[in-house]
Structure 1
Amino acid sequence: MKESLLASAFYDGDSRLAVLKFYDQEAGRFWHWKDNTGHRPYCYTRLERSELTEIAKRKDVVEILDEEREDLLNDRKVTLRKIVTTDPLAIGGGNDSIRDRIKAWEADIKYYENFAYDRGLRMGTYYTVSAGKVIPARKDLPERVAVSLAQLLQRNPPEFAPYLKEWAELLGEPLSEFKRVALDIEVANEAGRLPDPENPKQPVIAVSFFNEAERTVYLLRSGKDTEGLKGAPFAAEVFEDERSLLRAVMWKIMEYPVVVTFNGDDFDLRYLKHRAEEIGIPEAENPIQLERVASTLKHGVHIDLYQFFRNRSIQVYAFSNKYSDHTLNGISESLLNKSKVEFEGEIGDLPLAKLGEYCLNDSQLTFELTSTGGGLVMKLLLVISRIGKMPINDVSRLGVSNWIRSMLFFEHRRLGALIPRQDELSEKGGASSQAVIKGKKYKGGLVIEPKPGIYFDVSVLDFASLYPSLIKVYNLSYETVNCPHEECRTNVVPDTSSWVCRKRKGITSLVTGSLRDLRVSHYKPLTKDQSISKEERELYNVVTQGLKVFLNATYGAMGFETFAFYCLPVAEATAALGRYAITKTIQKSTELGIEVLYGDTDSLFLKNPSRDQITTISKWADGELGVELDLDKVYRYVAFSSRKKNYFGVLPDGTVDIRGLTGKKSQTPEFLKRTFYQALEILSRVKTTEDFERARANIRELLTKMIGDLKGKKVAVEDLAFNVMMGKTTEKYNGTTPQHVRAAKLLEDKGREIKAGEIIQYVKTRSPPYVRPVELARVDDVDADKYIEYAHSMFDQMLDALDFSFDEMLGATTLDLFWSG
C-alpha cells in the first residue's frame, strides 16, 4: 500500500482481528489492513497465579503471563498477571466476562483501541504498508517551523522536550481532503405514528446525495406525476418500487469513502439498514453496519454531525457560540446563513419536485457544514483525531472527556505504565475546600463581585489558557497531587490540604503543558508568519483551533465524575491555583494603581489602565506565576449588574457585547428579544455620561410600552413563541413533563409527527395545560402576566446596571392602565 492516512479502526468479530482503515486521497478510497502480528485481547490483575486457577481453566483464556508495569500512582514498578484471551468479550461485555469475576485493570478498553495503543499507531497520520508491515511515513518540518520549535525547546525544562518534538511532528503533518457525500432520507408518514428506525414499517420515499459535484435525489414514484421534475435543479431518479430505490441507494453509498449525515446514527442510516432488511435486500448488498449507538460503513467512514455540533467544547471554542440551537436548521442559519425548506402539510403528500427539493436541501446544508470555512469541520476532526489518538468517526461522536481519555491511555501504554482504576483514584481523598455552588464537590473558580454601574475605557486582560498553564507550571496530575513521598507534603496547594510532588513530572502536566506551549508560543505565531506558505499557515490555524478545544476542556474533564482519570484532589487543586493566580494579579494591579472592576474566572476588567501598566502586569504574571496575560479587548464602556457574570459592554465600533443576559437566549420570544435588542441599540449609541442619562430615559419609555402592549393583548401570537428543541421523542420523557413537550403532545394529538431535535414553538396560556403550540393558539389565550414575569427576569439584569428596577416601571404602567380604563 502506498502512503495513506490512518483514519479509523474496528474489530472484526468474524476473524477476531483488529482492522485498520487507511485513506488513499489519490484513489479516493479506503484500504483495509487486518492485523497479522498475533496481537490478542488481554487485561491485568494483581492476583497471584494461585488465585487464578479457575480463570486459567477457561476455554477463552490463552495464557497468563507475568508482566512488569510502571505504577505511577505509587511511583514503583509492579509485576502483574496478564490474562490473554481469544476474544474481547471474554475480557468484558460478554456473559461471565473476566472483569465481572475478578478485580481487573485495563478491562474496559475497546479492543481496536487497545491494539492501536500497543502498536503506537497515531490516528490521523500517514503510513505505508510493506511486506504486510505498517510503517509510519515520517515528515520533516519546514525549516522556519523547525527553528520556532528549537526556540521553544530552549525555553522549556528538558522533561518536556520529547513531548514537544513528538507533538510538533504529529501536528505538522499535512491534512487530507476526504472524498465525501452528504446523505439525507425522507420517510412516508403515517397519521399518529412516528417512523421507527428499529421497526421501519413506512417506506423510504426520498434519498438525497450532495457534494460539490453531485446533486442527486432518488424518489419513490408512489403514483405521483413526474412532470414537475423537468428543469429541477437536481438530478432526479424516480423508482417504481422501494426495493429498487434502496438497492440504488446502497450502490451510491459504496461510491463514497466518507458519508456525512445529520443524526444518521439514530435515524437515516439506521432506518436504511433495517428497512433494507425488512424488504429482503441481501446483507451482502448493504454497506451499512450497526453498532449499539453508532451506524458505520463496512467500506468507509460515517460522520454524524449532530453529535459533533452538540459537543459543548466545539460550540464554544471552535465556533465561539455562534449557534445555540442544535438542530440542522439552527446551526445552518447561524453558520451558513441558510435554512431548511419550509412547507405545509405532510411530507408524503408533497409533489415529487418539492419533495426532492426539500430532501436535497437538507443534505446540502449538511455537506456545507463540512465545507464552510475552508473545510474547517473535517480538518478539525482530523487534528483532534491526531491529538486524541482516536479514529475520526469516534471523534465526531464522543465528547471531549473521551478524547482526553484516549490521549492519556496512549501515553500510559507508551510509557509502559499501568492505567489506574477509578476506585484507586478515589482513594486519593476528597476535597478539603467548601463548594460555593450547590451540588459541586469543591470550591470552583474565583469570580470577583462587579461594581454595579457604568464605566468608560475598560480593558479586559485574559489569562491565556489559564488552567492548562497551571497544570504545567504546578505539576498537576493524578499521580503527583498527594503523591506517596513524605518529603513532598510541605509543597501545599494554596487554600487546600493537598500537596504536589517535587520528585517527578506528572503525565498530565507533561502532555497538557507541552500542548499548551505549542499552541501559545509556536502555532499561534506561525499562523501569522508570512515566510511560510499559505497552506502551512492554514494548517497551523486549524491546529491552533483544535488545541484550543482540547486544552480549554481539560480542566472541565478533570472535574467530570465519569472521566477515566477523575481525581477530586486534582480538580480542586487546579481550581485553587486559578483563584490564587487571579487574587495575586488583583493585588499586583492595585499596587500599580489600577482599579479592578470585575474578575471572571480567567479574566480581569481594569478601569482605564495605561499601556505601560498593562505591559508591567503582563511581565509580572509571566515571571511570578508562569502564566500569560493578554489584552483581550477594550470597551468604550461597560455596564455591570450586581449579578456575577452579568454585564454588557460596548466596543469602540458600537458593537454590544453581552454576557449572561437572558435576552440573548435563543428560546426567548421574538417580541421580548426584539425589545431587548432595541434597548441594546439605545445603549450602543452612548459615548458620554450625558448620553447615558438620555439612554436611561429612552429605555424606561421603551419598556413601559412593552408592558402596556403585553397587557393590552397587542402582540401577535407568533411573536410570543418560546422555541425549545425536543431532545428526544415525546414518549421518552418520564416524570415531570416540560412545557415544550406538553405543547408537542398537543400537536401529536392533531396528527403532527414530532422528531427528536425538532424545535417546538409554544406560548404560555391561562388555562390547562398552560401552554399551547403556536399553530393552535389565539391572542386571547396568552397569559400576559407570565410574559411580564419572564421580561422581569430578563431586563432586571440590565436595569440593575442602569440604576432602576423593573418593578418601578411595572407599577407605573399598572397605574397608567388604571387611569386610562
Structure 2
Amino acid sequence: MSQSKFVSQNEVEYYLRKIPENVPVLLLSSFYVGEKKSVFLKFYNPEDSKVYYWSEYFYESNNSEKHQPYCYVKKEFELEAMNAAQSDSGKFKINRVKKLDDIIDKEIEILQVLAPDPLSIGGTDNSFREKVRSWEADIKYHESYLYDLGLIPGAFYKRINNNLIFHEFAIPKTVDQYLDKLFDSKSQKNTANDEYDEFLLKWSRLLNQPIPNIKRVAVDIEVDSEEGRMPTARDHDRVITAIGMAGSDGLRRVYVLKRGPAVDVANLDPTIFLCDTEKEMLKKAFEMMKNYPVVLTYNGDDFDLPYLYARSQDPAIDPIEKKPIDKSIIPIVIKRESFIKRGIQADPVTLKDGIHIDLFRTFQNRSVQNYAFSHKYSEYTLRAISEALLEDSKIEFEGSIGDLSIQKLAEYCLKDADLTFRLTSFNDNLLMKLIIIISRISRMSIEDITRFGVNQWIRSMMFFEHRQQNIIIPRRDELLGKGTSSTTAIIKEKKYRGGLVVEPELGIHFNVVVVDFASLYPSIIKVHNLSYETVNCPHPECKNDIKNLIEGTTHWVCAKKRGMTSILIGTLRDLRVNFYKHLARDNTLNKEDKQLYGVISQAIKVILNATYGVMGAEIFPLYCLPVAEATAAIGRTTTTKAINKCNKDDIKVIYGDTDSLFLKNPSNERLTNISDWAKKELGVDLEIDKRYRYVVFSALKKNYLGVLDDGTVDVKGLTGKKSHTPPFIRNAFYEILNVLREVFTEKDFANAKIKIKKIVQSLAESLEKRSIPLEELSFNVMINKSPEKYGIRSQNNNSRTLGLDGRTKETDSVKGVPQHIKAAKQLVDLGQELKAGDIISYIKTKTNDGVKPVALANKAEVDNEKYLETMEATFDQILSSLNLNFKSIIGKPRQSNLDELFWS
C-alpha cells in the first residue's frame, strides 16, 4: 500500500464541504490524507455542480471501529507475523478472522494485521510485507477502503445521518420489461442460478443510473521557448506566457502575459485577458479553475499542471516582492513534490476541490483506441486525435511560439484548450460517459480509470468482488501452482496455442458475408464456467469425470461451484447482448435514453474484449495460464464445429480468424439456420458483421482488402493506410483503393489491374526524375518521450543528459537511435524546441545519418532505393492479392546505379 502526501494544516478543511443530507451525489474518487489518517471521498453534486466530501474522519468520535490499513497472513507464517508485530512496539494489532480460500475451496482461519498507516503495511524497506509473507499487502489503501465498504466510483449515493446509501433510481417500464425477458429467457433458465440472477440485478441497478453532464474545464498553457531545450517542471525557469481555458458552461478565456510593445486593447478579442505580471495571471487562472469539479488537460500530468504548480512557487513570478503564491489558494495537488525537483514527475496530478483527467493518457489506452473509437487514430498527439475524432486541428504557424503576437498566441493557446474540451463533449459527451460507466464496472476512481490500462480495470473489479464475498485474494505463486501450458504455441512469443485461423483462399471473392461470434471468449468463460478457482479445481471427482475435461488440453473444470470470473463476465456479456444492445435500438425510447444504453453497451464491450487477453497476461495479478489456455482451446473447438456445420449445409468458408468466419455467397435462410444452431448447440451468438461486394485475400497473413456493399473500402493490416507512410505513397495507395472501389465484375477486376500497374509505374518514374516535393517524401513519426530521454540534447547544452535506459550519461550521441530520433537530434542541435508528442518529419537520404529533417534536406540527397523499398513493402500487400509483382511492374533496378530504373 502506498501513502500519498496530500494536505497540510493550512489547506482546506474538508469537513466544511460535507455532503448535504439526502441528496443524490456521484462518487468521483478516493484519496488518503496522511496527517488525518483517513480516506476521503470526493462526490459531485449535479444540483450545484460542486464537489463535496465524506470521511470517517468527520465522525470518528462516534465510530470506534474506524477502518484501518491491513494485510493478511496465513497460519503457516503466524510465528513470523507475531515476532514482526512485537518488534514494532505494539504498532500492529492482530485479529484472527475466517476467509474463503477459493484455490483449495475451503474456509480457513488467518491473521488480519492492522496498521496505523498504509506505509506500515507496504511501501518502505521496513514495511510489514517486507518482513513477513503477506496477502493483499500491495493494494492501495484508498482502493482497499472502497472494496471493504462496497462503494463504487461513478455511482450515486445519499448521505443519511453518517452513512452512505446507494441511491436507487426508478427504472422506466419499457426498460424493466426488457430486464424481465432476460431473466425469463429459456437460455438463461438453463444456465442461471440464484447467484447469477443476483449479479444480473446488481449490474442493471448500477449501470442504469443516469450519467450527469459534469461541469468541467480544459486547461492549456504556453511557455517561453529556449533554443535547444524543452521547458520542464523541474527547471521551471521559463515564463508562462498564456493560459487557455474552455469550459462546459461555455467559458472561452485565455490569460496572456502583457509583454513587448504597447497593445491596442480595444482591438483584442474579448476572450483575451491581459495580465501585467505572471503572478497575476497564475492567480486568476487558479481562481477560475476552482469553479470546476473536473479539470481536463492534454499531457497535463507530465507538463501543464506540474509546471503551473512549480512556477507558482518560484519567487521570480513576483518581480517586486519576490514571493511565491500562497499554497492555500493553489488548486493543484502534486502528490510528490520532490519528484518535480528531480525531474521524474510521473504520478497523476490531482486537485484539492475536484479531479484532473489527463486525456493524453486516456487516449493512449489501447482498449479505448481499439474498442471505444474503432482505431480511428493511430498517433496520440492532440493534432492527430482531433483530426480523427473532431475533424478539426491545431492552429499552424511558422517560426517560434515566442514570435507570435498577443492575439495569435491567445488564439493558438485557446484553440488547444478548446480541442481538449471537445474531445470529451463530441457525440453527446461520449468520452465522459464511457469513463463513468467503466468506472462503475471496474470499481475504480475516475482519475485512475483514465490513467491505467484495462488489466487494472479488471483487476479492480475482481478484487472488489473478492472482498465482498470474503474470499482471500490469491498470491501470484499460488496461481502458478494451478498448472502450466499443455499446448504448443504457434506464435513464438506465446505460451500456449491461441485461436483457430483458417487459411484464406487467395484471390478475389464476390458476395462475401462475415459472421462473428459475438463476445466469443466472454461467452466461453460464461458457458464453460472458466475462472482461476474452477479450472483444475481441487476436487478429485471433477478431475476424474470425463465430462469435465477441456478438449485439446490436460485441464478440467469444476462441476461443483460457479467461478467468480464466469459469473462477472457472463452477466456483463448477457446484459450487453440481450439487454443494452436492444435498448439502444428501441425507437419507443427517447433519444437520450437510447444514447445512454448505447454508451453502456460500448463500455461493456471495451471490458469484455479485453478479458481473455488479461487472463493470459503475466502482468495481470490474477494471471492463470490454464484459464487462458482453456478459453483458447474451447474457442478453437467452437469455431471448428461451426465450420463443420457450414460445410454440412453447403456454406463455403473462405477464411476464418479466431471469432470471425468469411462465408461466400450464403443465402439469408442458411445464415439464419447457422445462427440458430450456434445459439442452441454452442451457447454463442453468431451475428452478421459485414457484407462485402467482394474480398481480395493476400498471401500475407491477416492482410486482406474488401469493398463493402456501400462502396466503402475496408483494409486489414495494410501499412499503406498508416499515417507515418510518406504522403506520395499513401496518396497512391488510396488512388489504388479508389480503382478497386469501382470493381463490380470479373471484367472490371481485369481492367482495374491495368490501371493499378500504371499508377505504380508513374509513381516510380516520378521518383526517378526527383520531381516529387520533399514534403510528399517525408516520413512523419511522433516522439513518445522528451528528446533528452533518447540521449538527445542541444550542442549548446553541456549538462548531463538521459540515455535510452533512463540513466544519466556524459554523451553526445547514442547508438542504435531510431531514424526519427536522429532527425530530431539534428533539429535540437539547431535550436528547435521539441517535446514528447511532437511529429518529426524526415527524409531518407544518402547522408551519413541516412535521414534529414524535411527543412534541412534537398532533392539531390534523397535515397531513391530506400523509397522504392518502402513502395514495394506497401504495394506488394495489395499487388500480391491481384497476382501482380512490384519488381515486375517497374523493372529491377541495377545494383550499380540505384538511381536508374529499367522498365520491363
- State whether TM-score is above 0.5: yes
Q: List per-residue Cα deviations over 1:148-193 (Å, max 9, x = no partner).
A: 1122122321141011000000000011111111000011111222
Using the alignment, how far apart are the partners of 2:89 and 2:329 within structure 1?
A: 35
SS at match of 1:21: strand
Residue matched to 2:10: none
Using the alignment, how far apart are the partners of 2:199 and 2:179 within structure 1?
A: 12
Residue matched to 2:281: 245
Per-residue deviation, 1:214: 1.1
In the alignment, structure 1 residue 43 sits paired with structure 2 residue 75: no
Tell which deviates more after alignment, 680-689 or 229-238: 229-238
Out of 624, 632, 644, the position equivalent to 2:681 is 624
What's the TM-score once normalised by structure 2's chain length?
Answer: 0.89
CA 1:68–1:654: 2 relative to 1, 3 Å:
same
Aligned 8 A contact 1:11 1:17 in 2: yes
In the alignment, structure 1 residue 497 sits paired with structure 2 residue 554: yes
CA 1:29–1:820: 2 relative to 1, 3 Å:
closer
Using the alignment, how far apart are the partners of 1:578 and 1:136 within structure 2?
A: 39
Using the alignment, how far apart are the partners of 1:270 and 1:429 within structure 2?
A: 46
Residue matched to 1:746: 826
Using the alignment, how far apart are the partners of 2:817 and 2:737 within structure 1?
A: 35
Aligned 8 A contact 2:73 2:112 in 1: yes
**Matched residue count:** 820
Q: For residue 665 of structure 1, what is the amino acid of its counterpart?
A: K
Aligned 8 A contact 2:69 2:121 in 1: yes
Mapping of residues 247-266 of structure 1, within 5 Å: 247-266=283-302
SS at match of 1:14: helix
SS at match of 1:538: helix
Using the alignment, how far apart are the partners of 1:51 and 1:550 within structure 2?
A: 40
Residue matched to 2:164: 134
Residue matched to 1:765: 845
Aligned 8 A contact 1:224 1:351 in 2: no
Residue matched to 2:7: none
SS at match of 1:61: coil
Structure 1: gaps spanning 5 or more residues? none
Residue matched to 1:16: 37
SS at match of 1:780: helix
Aligned 8 A contact 2:892 2:901 in 1: no
Q: List per-residue Cα deviations over 1:420-459 (Å, max 9, x = no partner).
A: 1111111212211111112111111122111110010001
Using the alignment, how far apart are the partners of 2:892 and 2:37 within structure 1?
A: 77
Mapping of residues 371-450 of structure 1, within 5 Å: 371-450=425-504
Q: For residue 769 of structure 1, what is the amino acid of its counterpart?
A: D
Using the alignment, how far apart are the partners of 2:262 and 2:616 within structure 1?
A: 59
Q: For residue 754 of structure 1, what is the amino acid of its counterpart?
A: L
Using the alignment, how far apart are the partners of 1:444 and 1:616 within structure 2?
A: 28
Mapping of residues 297-308 of structure 1, within 5 Å: 297-308=351-362
Mapping of residues 728-743 of structure 1, within 5 Å: 728-733=785-790, 734=804, 736-743=816-823
Per-residue deviation, 1:205: 0.8
Mapping of residues 357-376 of structure 1, within 5 Å: 357-376=411-430
Per-residue deviation, 1:533: 3.0
Using the alignment, how far apart are the partners of 1:174 and 1:186 within structure 2?
A: 37
In the alignment, structure 1 residue 170 sits paired with structure 2 residue 206: yes
SS at match of 2:36: coil
Q: List per-residue Cα deviations over 1:240-273 (Å, max 9, x = no partner).
A: 2211211222111111111111110111001111
SS at match of 1:469: helix
Mapping of residues 453-602 of structure 1, within 5 Å: 453-489=507-543, 490=546, 491-602=548-659
Q: Percent identity?
A: 47
Per-residue deviation, 1:394: 1.0
SS at match of 2:228: coil
SS at match of 1:691: helix
In the alignment, structure 1 residue 271 sits paired with structure 2 residue 292: no
Per-residue deviation, 1:711: 2.0
Per-residue deviation, 1:349: 2.1
Q: List per-residue Cα deviations over 1:740-782 (Å, max 9, x = no partner).
A: 1111111101111111011111111112110111111111111
Q: For residue 116 of structure 1, what is the amino acid of its counterpart?
A: L
SS at match of 1:541: helix
Using the alignment, how far apart are the partners of 1:668 and 1:597 within structure 2?
A: 31
Aligned 8 A contact 1:470 1:578 in 2: yes
CA 1:736–1:59: 2 relative to 1, 3 Å:
farther
Mapping of residues 72-83 of structure 1, within 5 Å: 72-83=102-113
Using the alignment, how far apart are the partners of 1:224 and 1:558 within structure 2?
A: 62
Using the alignment, how far apart are the partners of 2:132 and 2:672 within structure 1?
A: 59
Residue matched to 1:284: 328
Residue matched to 1:68: 98
CA 1:127–1:787: 2 relative to 1, 3 Å:
same
CA 1:154–1:808: 2 relative to 1, 3 Å:
same
What's the TM-score once normalised by structure 1's chain length?
Answer: 0.98
Aligned 8 A contact 2:694 2:708 in 1: yes
Q: For residue 593 of structure 1, what is the amino acid of its counterpart?
A: D
Aligned 8 A contact 1:704 1:813 in 2: no
Using the alignment, how far apart are the partners of 1:191 and 1:70 within structure 2?
A: 62
Mapping of residues 90-101 of structure 1, within 5 Å: 90-101=120-131
In the alignment, structure 1 residue 196 sits paired with structure 2 residue 276: no
Residue matched to 2:53: 32
Using the alignment, how far apart are the partners of 2:269 and 2:526 within structure 1?
A: 55
Q: List per-residue Cα deviations over 1:720-743 (Å, max 9, x = no partner).
A: 111111110122121621111111
CA 1:373–1:33: 2 relative to 1, 3 Å:
same
Using the alignment, how far apart are the partners of 2:430 and 2:269 within structure 1?
A: 27
Per-residue deviation, 1:95: 3.7
Using the alignment, how far apart are the partners of 2:369 and 2:711 within structure 1?
A: 25
Tell which deviates more after alignment, 139-148 or 588-597: 139-148
Using the alignment, how far apart are the partners of 1:609 and 1:59 within structure 2?
A: 77
SS at match of 1:503: coil
Aligned 8 A contact 1:483 1:499 in 2: yes
Q: List per-residue Cα deviations over 1:273-307 (Å, max 9, x = no partner).
A: 11112232122121111235111001101111111
Using the alignment, how far apart are the partners of 2:701 and 2:890 within structure 1?
A: 25
Aligned 8 A contact 1:224 1:352 in 2: no
Tell which deviates more after alignment, 435-444 or 169-178: 435-444
Out of 239, 252, 256, the position equivalent to 1:215 is 252
Using the alignment, how far apart are the partners of 2:587 and 2:868 within structure 1?
A: 55
Residue matched to 2:262: 225
Residue matched to 1:84: 114
Using the alignment, how far apart are the partners of 1:183 and 1:59 within structure 2?
A: 49
Residue matched to 1:322: 376
Per-residue deviation, 1:787: 1.0
SS at match of 1:339: coil
